[in-house]
Structure 1
Amino acid sequence: MSTPHNNAEKGQIASTVLMPGDPLRAKFIAENYLENPVCFNQVRGMLGYTGTWQGQPVSVMGHGMGMPSIGIYSYELFAFYDVEKIIRVGSAGALQPQLDLGDIVLAQGACTDSNYAAQYGLPGAFAPIGDFRLLRKAAAVADSKGLRCQIGNVCSSDVFYDANPDSAEKWRSMGVLCTEMECAALYMNAARLGKRALGILTISDIIGDEHRALTAEERQTSFGNMIQLALDTALSE
């Protein structure tokens, strides 16, 4: 069995998948956190691996940038490979002053400027939310580890270089914690297919202050906290 974007065979992918945007980060996670990782996908360079964490099977696979990309990869994992849980692990830009570089955000909900939900023909606006059991467990694990962590709404945007200079301020005024580009589509796919999903994000930069961003070394440490939190969340809830 394979799909147009994944050449894995049925059974090669665990029921729990961590998904960073960058396929090379998926490779890094597999080689540095999982035991006995085996590569199951190389189509279009979107690397995927399955190994074990604390003796339990877990997979990690890149999802690319933006909602169309994660929409494809997460849909195929949910619909064709019997994946039950996907946790996105990625970076985000802070909107609120209480957030600092390296902080973790658990995406309780995902606002969006995307038209992704139009495919469902709903008679209103759909509100994409993360899985509560995963959210509750992630919050408990983060607290036990003493991590700086906030929970709330994020904004999943289709636009990285925004022509509207007021966009960030408008989302900020509604209490949205940070911006990223994928959680809303992941949550909609999970809802449509009866699966479970959560976004765990690390603040890598401050929107409106281009001089405040994580260095390469700081990213390594902060992202390590996020990855371990995601693994502990997925396998212990």
Structure 2
Amino acid sequence: MPTPHINAKKGDFAETILMPGDPLRAKLIAETYLKNPRLVTDVRNVYGYTGTYQGKEISVMAHGMGGPSATIYFHELMTEFGVKNFIRIGSCGAIHDDVKLKDVIVAMGASTDSKINRIRFRDHDYAALADFNMLQNCVSVLSETDMSYRVGQVFSSDLFYRPDFDMYELMAKYGVLGVEMEVNALYSCAAENGCKAIAMCTVTDHITKGEHLTADERRTELHEMINVALKTALTL
């Protein structure tokens, strides 16, 4: 049955799904990479599609911005629509000197300032980690490309515009490679519901250095990451 946020039917989604933040990027991925894509949900213009890629049924759907919002979609896809494998594809801001623009960060784990997991985990800290096999498969695919990538920890922030800029220095000290907004929520929701997840983020900005990709560079680099995500999906 449809939920308040997803107007699809049982069976409309594949077991494996790619999830960007932007609904228009989900549309672009479906129309560019999937064969015979069909729109299965469009509540609030958050588009979800299902098609095939090299013969494998795959879905793609946007999750919006921020952990609390994204968790609504993660939870409903996991509990109501039978999706088992989640591949987040997004962008992030680098904070570590060793990370450069255009690098792909594969998130092994995600720290956060959000209280989402405190609510889930009875006010204790929960270590939100990727599924190891998906992580391994993703890195294997990346190793066959000429893309520059890093594997490590990201920080999922509830605030896009932080008032405490010096916090980035502390994150870097603890080895955090980049900052985004949804990975922690995805990994913990997957653990809660017995699902698997991996997240990749292309570095489109370097927060502490004030560097940014151009609009054209963003399109090009994100397409390379999408190809990696699709090839990773084929291994599941």
Normalising by structure 1, we get a TM-score of: 0.97
List alignment gaps of at least 5 residues for structure 1. none
Equivalent residue, structure 1, for 2:168: 168
Q: How does 1:26-45 map to 2 (within 5 A)?
A: 26-45=26-45
Q: Which amino acid aligns with 1:62?
A: A
Equivalent residue, structure 1, for 2:225: 226
Give the % identical residues. 45
Q: How does 1:101-112 map to 2 (within 5 A)?
A: 101-112=101-112
SS class of match (2:83)? coil
Name the CA distance, whole Å, in 1 between partners of 2:232 and 2:55. Answer: 15
Name the CA distance, whole Å, in 2 between partners of 1:183 and 1:100. Answer: 20
Name the CA distance, whole Å, in 2 between partners of 1:27 and 1:9. Answer: 19
Equivalent residue, structure 2, for 1:8: 8
Once the two structures are TM-superposed, the CA of residue 138 in structure 1 deviates from its matched residue by 0.5
Once the two structures are TM-superposed, the CA of residue 118 in structure 1 deviates from its matched residue by 2.2
Equivalent residue, structure 1, for 2:201: 201
Equivalent residue, structure 2, for 1:214: 213
Name the CA distance, whole Å, in 1 between partners of 2:123 and 2:105. Answer: 31
Equivalent residue, structure 2, for 1:83: 83
Equivalent residue, structure 2, for 1:180: 180
Kindly report the root-mean-square deviation, in angstroms, between the aligned alpha carbons of the 2 structures: 1.0
SS class of match (1:232)? helix
Once the two structures are TM-superposed, the CA of residue 123 in structure 1 deviates from its matched residue by 6.4
CA 1:179–1:123 in 2, change beyond 3 Å: closer, same or farther?
closer
Moved more, 47-56 or 112-121: 112-121
Equivalent residue, structure 2, for 1:189: 189
Whether 1:72 and 2:80 are equivalent positions in the alignment is no
Structure 1 consecutive aligned stretches of length 4 or more whose deviation exceeds 6 Å: none
Once the two structures are TM-superposed, the CA of residue 115 in structure 1 deviates from its matched residue by 0.4
Q: How does 1:18-167 map to 2 (within 5 A)?
A: 18-122=18-122, 124-167=124-167
Equivalent residue, structure 2, for 1:235: 234
Name the CA distance, whole Å, in 2 between partners of 1:216 and 1:88. Answer: 21
How many pairs does the alignment contain?
236
Once the two structures are TM-superposed, the CA of residue 235 in structure 1 deviates from its matched residue by 1.5
List alignment gaps of at least 5 residues for structure 2. none
SS class of match (1:151)? strand
Name the CA distance, whole Å, in 1 between partners of 2:120 and 2:89. Answer: 26
Deviations 1:36-75 (A, max 9, x none): 1100111011001001111100000000000011100011
Normalising by structure 2, we get a TM-score of: 0.98
